[in-house]
Structure 1
Amino acid sequence: MENRLKGIKKVLNQKTFSQLTFTEKHRQNIQKEIRKQGDTEAIILSILQLLTQERTGYELSHLLRGRGVRRFEDIEGSLYILLHTLENKEVLRSTWIPKEEVKYYQLTNKGKKLLKQTEKKQNSSRVLLQLLEGGTEWRIAGSHS
Structure 2
Amino acid sequence: MDKKLKNLRQSMKQTVFKEMSFSEKKKSAVKREIKQENVFLSILQLLIEEKTGVELLERLKARNIMKFDESEGFLYTTLHQLVQKGYLTYRWDEHTLKFYKLNNKGRKCLKKLESNQKSKTAVLKEILGGHLS
Report the equivalent of 2:131.
Answer: 137
- The answer to whether the 8 Å contact 2:52/2:99 transfers is yes
Shift of 1:40: 0.6
Cα distance 1:107–1:56, how it changes in 2: closer, same or farther (>3 A)?
same
Report the equivalent of 1:102.
Answer: 97
- The answer to whether the 8 Å contact 2:113/2:120 transfers is no
SS at match of 2:80: helix
Report the equivalent of 2:112.
Answer: 117
Shift of 1:123: 9.0
SS at match of 2:65: coil
Q: Which amino acid aligns with 1:36?
A: R
2:80 to 79, 84, 93: 84
Shift of 1:122: 7.9
Shift of 1:30: 2.2
Q: Which amino acid aligns with 1:117?
A: K
SS at match of 1:93: strand
TM-score, normalization by structure 2: 0.77
- The answer to whether the 8 Å contact 1:118/1:128 transfers is yes
- The answer to whether the 8 Å contact 1:41/1:128 transfers is no
SS at match of 1:126: helix
TM-score, normalization by structure 1: 0.71
Q: Radius of gyration: which is bigger?
A: 1
Shift of 1:101: 1.4
1:44 aligns with 2:43: no
Structure 2 unpaired stretches of 5+ = 1-21
Cα distance 1:137–1:65, how it changes in 2: closer, same or farther (>3 A)?
same
C-alpha distance in structure 1 between counterparts of 2:120 and 2:43, whole Å: 17
Shift of 1:124: 3.5
- The answer to whether the 8 Å contact 1:93/1:108 transfers is yes
Cα distance 1:27–1:132, how it changes in 2: closer, same or farther (>3 A)?
same
